[in-house]
Amino acid sequence: MLDAIAECEKAGYADGLAAGLAQALTGVDVLCPPGPVAAVPAAAVPAGAAVIGHRLADLEGISLVRCADHEPARGLTALGARLGAVRLGITGLLIERAVEHLSGRTAGGEATIRKQLVAGTLADALTATESLRQRLLVAGHVAVAVTDLHDRLNAIDWEVAKLLGASGYLACGPARGAYVARLIANCWIAREAG
Amino acid sequence: MTELEPALRELRSTCREVAVDLRSRALAVDARPLEMAAHLDSETLTSLRTASTPRRFRDCDDSLFGASYTGSCLARVVANAELACGDAGILSANTGASLAGLAVDALGSDDQQERFYRAIADGRTWTFFAMTEEARGSDASAMQTRLDKDPGGGWRLNGAKRYVANAVRGGIGVVFARTGPSALTIRAALVQLPAAGFDAHLLDMIGLRGACISGLAFDGVRILPDELLGSHLPASRRGMWGAGRVFNVMRAQIAAQALGVGFAAWGYVREQRPGWSGLDLMSARLAAARALLYDVAATIDGSPGDRRSPSIAKLHVTDLAVQATRWAEYALGPGSLAEHPLLEKWCRDVFAFEFMDGTSNILRLNIAPVPARQGLAS
């Protein structure tokens, strides 16, 4: 389990979302998500599956597949933990891009990255990702902890994307991966509606 | 708490009705934002254009919205919140005066206003408001786009802008640039297209695709003396002073649109899960935000130079709207974003408001108390 978590984060960070998702889905029946739609690497879409087009997901090499009546796959909490690790890799990339972006800018004659509001946001994001990584290691088997982890990542990714300014809203930018990661989590994280 | 006068309550009611039509067009515009022919002549979009045009420049006066749509900041806020609850993307995809109109109204002479509104009277002309630059964000005081003296008379516009709605298909717009180093030298130029040296390209954005957000480059675009806005005003009121007042109204209007998206997400969940007890908290938070926004808009109407109130409104409401879309995503369970494309679109659209006319951190600097004599953010 611990190795799988580390490998998933590494895959998400180094190889991208599709590669990370492929790693996370190892051994899972991809047509048995907790809801009516599965998110899978485009290369892994089963023949004849009904794909729901999504521009940003397509750009990340991810397909959304409609699944007929089915029982949810077993081991979804463990999958959620591995997917959380993939997302930590994507969030890490996003933070790196934000640091790069801010390091090259000045405001009022001072490096933007040194501004307290900015530095505080980055510090909070880094702190949160460290704590979430530990959570995966000690509570990756606890469904509610994993669901909450994905909700936290949705919030952290948005806070970091804001630091990129409007460039964080470009479909060709690093925030796209974070958004598609949210779409994937939306498909695979089991939660009671509401 | 601001109570709405009967005319504004009627406006709100009308906007709620037409929001249904906006929503019916939302996904088509998101998928194909450059294909607006099927929408522009609809009664809704035609009426919105008419209502956003000062009465003296209207060719007809049969807008569904009457005269009150742009009559005050409060009216703009009331209308935009309801319309954006239909869909914010298509609001930003419409032709007409839009934000450039606010700038022309604030800074333009009678002749310049006449020229601007005549240019868009065909109902087929998009306008643009170009302030943001790639390296400077919304820090207007640091902008680098220049108005260089033209030996032949007038000015030459040089530089670049980014994240400008509808510029790629625009016909006329307002571009901010500086004639010198001081803050007082920042001026607004009316740019009518086509113009030699003007280049626009579409930027692929995550959401609010109806806005056709664009990048602009200027290579010696000629600006005639009568195309510089504000020349009839005192020097201190020609550039950023006017822009600042425009920003205050804009920020309230953008907050209203964000609120509309938040209400849209909440209403969508209510439709999908009627009677669910989990609706109450978000309902209360959104209603309180609307009350705050109404108060702020009324404050701006009485004190248009107040930057703090609209900053509070935009900071709070844009954040709440993002939270509302996430709440809706979770409320509808696994697969909700793929199963409910409108909700998924709103989840993308709602991010846009953060980047428009002052990011959260810029707004925080406006809101936080500062020692006397210390300057404020833009």
According to the model, what pLDDT value does residue A193 have? 61
For residue B377, what pLDDT band results from cuts at 50, 70 and 90? low
Domain presence at residue B105: yes
Report how far residue A66's alpha carbon sits from residue B175's, in angstroms, rounded to the nearest whole number: 47
Domain final position from B203, B234, B265: B234
Closest CA to B251 of B299, B196, B285: B299
3-state secondary structure of B121: coil
Give yes or no: residues B171 and B244 share one domain.
Answer: no
Closest CA to B342 of B269, B253, B257: B269
Residue A117 touches partner B, C-beta closer than 8 Å: yes
Min Cα–Cα distance to chain B from A132, Å: 20
Domain presence at residue A124: yes
What CA dihedral angle connects B135, B140, B145 and B148, to 10 degrees?
-150
Average pLDDT in the B298-319 region? 95
**In the predicted model, is pLDDT for residue B296 greater than 60?**
yes
| CA dihedral for A102, A106, A107, A111, sign (positive or negative) | positive
Do residue A170 and residue B206 have CB atoms under 8 angstroms apart?
yes
Give yes or no: residues B286 and B190 share one domain.
Answer: no
Do residue A35 and residue B336 have CB atoms under 8 angstroms apart?
yes
Domain final position from B67, B89, B119: B119
For residue B71, what pLDDT band results from cuts at 50, 70 and 90? confident
Domain presence at residue A106: yes
* CATH number (domain holding residue A173): 1.20.140.10
Domain presence at residue B152: yes
Domain presence at residue A194: no
Domain presence at residue B136: yes
Mutate to test the interface with A, among B131, B326, B330 (most CBs of A within 10 A): B330
What's the number of domains chain B is made of? Answer: 3
**In the predicted model, is pLDDT for residue B354 greater than 80?**
yes
pLDDT tens digit string along B316-325? 999 999 999 9
Residues 6+ apart with CB under 8 A from B365: A117, B376, B377
According to the model, what pLDDT value does residue B12 have? 95
B201 by Cβ neighbours in 10 Å (0-12 / 13-18 / 19+) ranks as exposed
According to the model, what pLDDT value does residue B24 have? 98
Report how far residue A165's alpha carbon sits from residue A180's, in angstroms, rounded to the nearest whole number: 19
* CATH number (domain holding residue B58): 1.10.540
Report cis status (omega within 30 of 0) of the bond before A174.
no
Give yes or no: residues B360 and B268 share one domain.
Answer: yes
Instruction: Scan residues 130-159 of A and list those with Cβ closer than 8 Å to B.
Output: 151, 154-155, 158
pLDDT tens digit string along B248-287? 999 999 999 999 999 999 999 999 999 999 999 999 999 9
Kindly list the strands in the beta sheet with A50-52, ordered across the sheet, starting from the edge strand earlier in the chain.
A37-41, A62-66, A50-52
Q: Which of A119-128, B53-62, B174-183, B353-362 has the highest mean pLDDT?
A: A119-128
| CA dihedral for B33, B37, B42, B45, sign (positive or negative) | positive
Min Cα–Cα distance to chain B from A46, Å: 18
Give yes or no: residues B362 and B245 share one domain.
Answer: yes
Do residue B204 and residue A117 have CB atoms under 8 angstroms apart?
no
- Containing domain of residue B335, as a range? 240-367
For residue A122, what pLDDT band results from cuts at 50, 70 and 90? very high
Domain presence at residue B22: yes
Do residue B338 and residue A64 have CB atoms under 8 angstroms apart?
yes
According to the model, what pLDDT value does residue B61 have? 67
CB count within 10 Å of CB B134 equals 15
For residue A194, what pLDDT band results from cuts at 50, 70 and 90? low
What's the number of domains chain A is made of? Answer: 1
Q: Which residues of B touch A35 (CB under 8 A)?
A: 333-336, 339
Do residue B333 and residue A192 have CB atoms under 8 angstroms apart?
yes
Do residue A166 and residue B337 have CB atoms under 8 angstroms apart?
no
The closest CB to that of B334, out of A154, A155, A191, belongs to: A191
Matching residue, tokens 């109570």: B3
* CATH number (domain holding residue B296): 1.20.140.10
Q: Which residues of A touch B162 (CB under 8 A)?
A: 166
pLDDT tens digit string along A131-163? 999 999 999 999 999 999 999 999 999 999 999
- Containing domain of residue A102, as a range? 2-188
Domain presence at residue B99: yes
Domain presence at residue B376: no
Give yes or no: residues B248 and B362 share one domain.
Answer: yes
Residue B6 touches partner A, C-beta closer than 8 Å: no
